[in-house]
């Protein structure tokens, strides 16, 4: 039901849609669907233990570069709506090249990143004089992504509207050799330049001024040396310009390849497929939380309140797996308290899997009774024969 609700509200904004809409939705209906999509999406993320990251936090992360050696810029004004969540903030060690040697650095990693972006309509990008056919996205559509193992300080490369350019180091590596080569070309072509200037002076200021530049009347009359000098200069400067432009394009392509590799190998799912992954993750997280609560209440030698149980689970996780967590005790206790059913097929009395007394002490049913209760709930999820309408055949058993 939750999956279908997400898919239904996402349908008008889905850039991958391969079906036609029967009826056009009004602006009010589109806004309502967008709002429900975002609210439901956030609820699923929180159930899957994702945490939000605000635009301010994102902008602070953009200020520091990490693994991807790029100068990037993201225009948040391009979005009507942005939702950014992450899970698993850990530090890992990786090897990087610095000054022709390899060094180990510690990187802050988000193990999972979920991103929802609703782009503004075409009018916004036309006002920016952007070429719509060159955009990496469709204006007015919503894009949803799920990534793994993204460095905290490289989050900007996840945005489709990111603008990529060289950083200051690469700019210097491009400009300094260009200046050095340009000066070399200039000195090499200096005699030809002087000859050309001399010819110009001959026709404008007279032979005397031209003689000072080494262009006598005989050279001027013989135009071939002048043309040869001009051609040599054009070829030299043109070749230098082509070489530098090719070098720049090669470096730009390398930058884009680095970014593409990052996105390709770390993308888990996109758009509607993200819903399946997140709902599955939410169910897994809730199941693990319920098992942790039930296990520790069942095996504890002493009575535990919700707060004491919360502390015990956090301590157990750190001792057992070396993982520090902030366990949310309210969710699994509430889910266990909702589970009601019979613990004996011969008895119609309803039991609760988890209960709390007046002191807040939590109690759970023994394992055998809990299994009977779960079995009773499962058997009664769907009644085919009960209160059958006219024309429906009763079960023969």
Give pLDDT tens digits for 26-62. Answer: 999 999 999 999 999 999 999 999 999 988 888 888 8
Euclidean distance between CA atoms 35 and 242, whole angstroms: 52
Nearest to 111 by CA among 62, 146, 159: 146
Q: Residue 96's pLDDT is what?
A: 72
pLDDT at 393 (0 to 100): 40
CB of 44 within 8 A of CB of 71?
no
**Where are the chain's structural domains?**
2-165, 169-256, 300-379
Beta carbons of 216 and 210 less than 8 angstroms apart: yes
Q: Do residues 278 and 219 make contact, with C-beta atoms less than 8 angstroms apart?
A: no
The tokens for 296 are 């520790």
Percent share of the chain, pLDDT over 70: 73
Residue 171 has φ and ψ, to the nearest 5°, of -65, -40
Residue with the larger pLDDT of the pair 103 and 169: 103
- What is the 8-class DSSP label of residue 1? -
At residue 93, the pLDDT reads 86
CA distance 226 to 196: 6
Give dist(CA 349, CA 261) in Å, integer: 60
DSSP, collapsed to helix, strand or coil, labels residue 119 as: strand
pLDDT at res. 338: 94
CA separation for the pair 383, 311 (Å, rounded)? 41
Confidence of residue 396 (pLDDT cuts 50, 70, 90): very low
> At residue 280, does pLDDT exceed 90?
yes
Please classify residue 45 by burial: count the beta carbons closer than 10 Å to its beta carbon, then call 0-12 exposed, 13-18 middle and 19+ buried.
Answer: buried
Q: What is the pLDDT of residue 72?
A: 76
β-sheet bridge partners, residue 92:
107
Average pLDDT over the chain reads 81
Q: How far apart are CA 74 and CA 207, in angstroms?
A: 61
* pLDDT score at 139: 94
Residue for token pair 């955009």? 135
Strand partners, 52: 85
Tens of pLDDT, residues 228-239 = 655 665 676 667
Question: How would residue 391 be classed by pLDDT, with cut points 50, 70 and 90?
Answer: very low
pLDDT at 390: 45
Q: How far apart are CA 214 and CA 193, in angstroms?
A: 11
Helix (H, G, I), strand (E, B) or coil at 366: coil
Residue 143: which H helix or E strand, with range?
A: strand 142-151
State the pLDDT at residue 394: 43
């Amino acid at each position: 039901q939750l999956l279908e609700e997400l898919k239904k509200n996402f349908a008008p904004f889905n850039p991958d849609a391969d079906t036609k809409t029967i009826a056009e939705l009004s602006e009010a209906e589109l806004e309502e669907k967008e709002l429900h999509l975002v609210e439901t999406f956030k609820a699923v993320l929180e159930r899957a233990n994702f945490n939000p990251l605000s635009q301010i936090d994102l902008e602070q992360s953009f200020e520091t570069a990490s693994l991807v050696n790029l100068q990037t810029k993201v225009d948040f004004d391009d979005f009507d709506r942005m939702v950014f969540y992450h899970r698993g903030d850990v530090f890992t060690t990786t090897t990087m090249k610095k000054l022709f040697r390899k060094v180990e650095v510690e990187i802050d990693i988000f193990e999972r990143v979920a991103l929802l972006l609703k782009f503004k309509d075409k009018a916004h990008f036309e006002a920016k004089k952007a070429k719509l056919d060159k955009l990496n996205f469709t204006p007015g559509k919503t894009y949803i992504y799920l990534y793994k193992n993204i460095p905290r300080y490289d989050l900007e490369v996840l945005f489709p509207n990111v603008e990529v350019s060289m950083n200051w180091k690469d700019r210097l590596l491009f400009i300094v050799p260009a200046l050095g080569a340009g000066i070399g070309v200039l000195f090499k072509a200096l005699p030809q330049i002087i000859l050309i200037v001399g010819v110009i002076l001959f026709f404008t200021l007279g032979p005397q001024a031209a003689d000072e530049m080494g262009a006598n009347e005989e050279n001027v009359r013989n135009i071939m040396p002048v043309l040869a000098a001009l051609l040599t200069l054009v070829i030299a400067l043109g070749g230098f310009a082509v070489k530098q432009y090719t070098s720049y394009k090669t470096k730009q392509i390398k930058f884009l390849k680095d970014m593409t590799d990052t996105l390709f190998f770390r993308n888990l799912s996109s758009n509607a497929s993200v819903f399946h992954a997140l709902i599955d993750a939410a169910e897994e997280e809730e199941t693990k939380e319920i098992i942790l609560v039930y296990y520790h209440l069942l095996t504890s030698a002493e009575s535990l309140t919700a707060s004491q149980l919360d502390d015990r689970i956090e301590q157990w996780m750190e001792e057992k797996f070396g993982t520090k967590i902030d366990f949310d005790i309210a969710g699994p206790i509430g889910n266990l308290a909702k589970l009601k059913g019979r613990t004996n097929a011969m008895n119609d009395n309803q039991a609760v899997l988890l209960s709390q007394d007046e002191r807040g002490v939590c109690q759970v049913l023994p394992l055998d009774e809990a299994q009977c209760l779960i079995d009773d709930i499962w058997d009664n999820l769907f009644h085919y024969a009960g209160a059958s309408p006219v024309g429906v055949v009763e079960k023969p058993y």
